[in-house]
A = this chain, B = another copy of it.
Amino acid sequence: MSTHAAVRSLNINNINPHVRAAEYAVRGELAVRAEEYRAKLAKGCTDLPFDKVISANIGNPQQLDQKPITFFRQVLSLVEYPQLLEKEAVLLEQLGYKSDVIERAKWLLKEVGSVGAYSASAGAPGIRDSVAKFLERRDGFPADPKDIYLSAGASSGVNTLLHIICAGPNTGVLVPIPQYPLYTATLSLLNAQCVPYYLDESKGWGTDLEAIKAAHKKAVDEGTDVRAIVIINPGNPTGASLSVEDIKAVIDFAAQEKLVIMADEVYQTNIFLGEFHSFKKVLRSMQKDEPEKYKYVELASLHSISKGMVGECGHRGGYFELCGFDPEVVEQIYKFVSISLCAPVVAQCVVEMMVNPPKEGEPSYELYKQEWDGIYTGLRERARALYKAFREMEGVECQDPQGAMYLFPTIHLPPKAIEAAKKEGRSPDEFYAFRLLDATGVCVVPGSGFGQKENTLHFRTTFLAPGTEWVGRITKFHKEFMDEFR
């Protein structure tokens, strides 16, 4: 029983107020209710109006039947149980392993020793080398393994970087709105200021330099020490994919105002329109042309094994690369990561395979390519199908799916629905999302969980769930909802 009388040390009014203030809607009340429905169904309950819960609230591909890449998992089976390597003939002839799987497992074991041992704090040196080589191939510019930090997912990298950047309540960080709420939640925990800048929905949710400038100026005028800008590209929750020009504009502004750029690039392979441009590549090109002007730009770019066609979120792996940071600051980053010892070593191995997958001509390449392309095509098709369904719904507007795993449609709800929400003490988009869950078992996240312009309403849904039946459920619900509240 909760009690505010002083019988315990801790109560809701005396714990860390910054934890209390943090909001993280992706796994909030809606997600909890969805889990309750799932548990009910698992127990054979039949009085719900649906027979399956669709968790479209979170980018969790393998929960929604995305199959892991075979090469990755075969290698992991060997690094987990290296004795299998003593039975090469059985692996090759009876279990379908290819020789490059065995070679990779041996190499990884040489690099990490045992996956049950702590690695060096920033990750196993050989794996950091692999990441650096990948970045060189991707960007056409050198990368130094010393600048790479392996992390327990990108979330852990963001946590590290914001811990260093935020020096107190006066520190401000420019964060796009809408945004993945990890950023605002972590800034709350650190008692620092989120300086919101709005993305431009009318331009496919691209960055709007004027909006960034205005947000920055307003914060600086109010006395905030704005130190960094977060960019999520491709966008979460928006799916936007930035052009080189947009990226250049951000870097130029960051150089001018001395802002650390945090480039969250975890969706770099989830691109359905145009192509991905890394901040690192664009920065290095600009530095080549105008070395003095961009010499000291501080860029931290993050990547993850959780997204893309890899989709290994449960393993908790990722990395970040630092460019242009002061060496004394880097030492503090090293110390900070060392306190939590190291990223999960199996996840480090997945990072290595993500950045260094089987190459054309190698035994595992064909299957790898086929799996990769199958996942990619499936995602693109489902994105288009969902997009089309949204376009046909009354009062719903949706931008073209460009990247990431999400659509973030605008919904225009009738005044009666807005009133009904008010009565329940919920925001209208939250009210809508709860109604959707209760009626269909589809769990989405209301736009208010990411931030949205005043007087606009949205929700975020992943397009990971297989099939289209669940899209039909949404369409039907929406029509009935609109009819009810019209």
Contact = CB atoms under 8 A, between A and B. Distances in A.
Q: Which of A125, A159, A163, A346 has most B Cβ within 10 Å?
A: A346
A63 B118 CA distance: 7
A21 to B, nearest CB: 10
A9 B227 contact: yes
A332 to B, nearest CB: 5
Contacts of A76: 80-81
Interface in A312-366: 312-316, 324-329, 332, 335-336, 338-347
Give chain A's interface residue range (CB within 8 Å of chain B): 35 or more
B260 A62 contact: no
A27 B121 CA distance: 8
A73 to B, nearest CB: 4
Contact of A336 (B19, B182, B311, B332): B19
Nearest to A20: B332
Nearest to A337: B27
A430 interface: no
A120 B116 CA distance: 24
A284 B115 CA distance: 38
A17 interface: yes
Interface in A117-165: 117-121, 125, 152-153, 155-156, 159, 163-165
A116 B309 CA distance: 12
A11 interface: yes
A340 B81 CA distance: 28
Contacts of A339: 22, 24, 155, 182, 185-186, 189
Interface stretch (A87-95, A196-204, A232-240): A87-95
Interface in A21-69: 22, 24, 26-28, 35, 39, 58, 60-63, 68
B116 A62 contact: yes
A249 interface: no
B166 A16 contact: yes
B159 A298 contact: no
Contact of A19 (B10, B95, B114, B332): B332
A486 interface: no
A8 B324 contact: yes
B340 A156 contact: yes
A404 interface: no
A343 B152 CA distance: 9
Contacts of A314: 112, 114-119, 342, 344-346
18 contacts: A1-B327, A8-B324, A9-B165, A9-B259, A11-B328, A12-B326, A12-B328, A12-B332, A16-B164, A16-B165, A60-B118, A62-B114, A70-B83, A73-B81, A90-B90, A185-B339, A189-B339, A316-B316
Interface of A: 1-3, 6-12, 14-17, 19-20, 22, 24, 26-28, 35, 39, 58, 60-63, 68, 70, 73-74, 76-78, 80-81, 83-84, 87, 90, 94-96, 112-121, 125, 152-153, 155-156, 159, 163-168, 182, 185-186, 189-190, 227-228, 258-260, 295-296, 298, 311-316, 324-329, 332, 335-336, 338-347
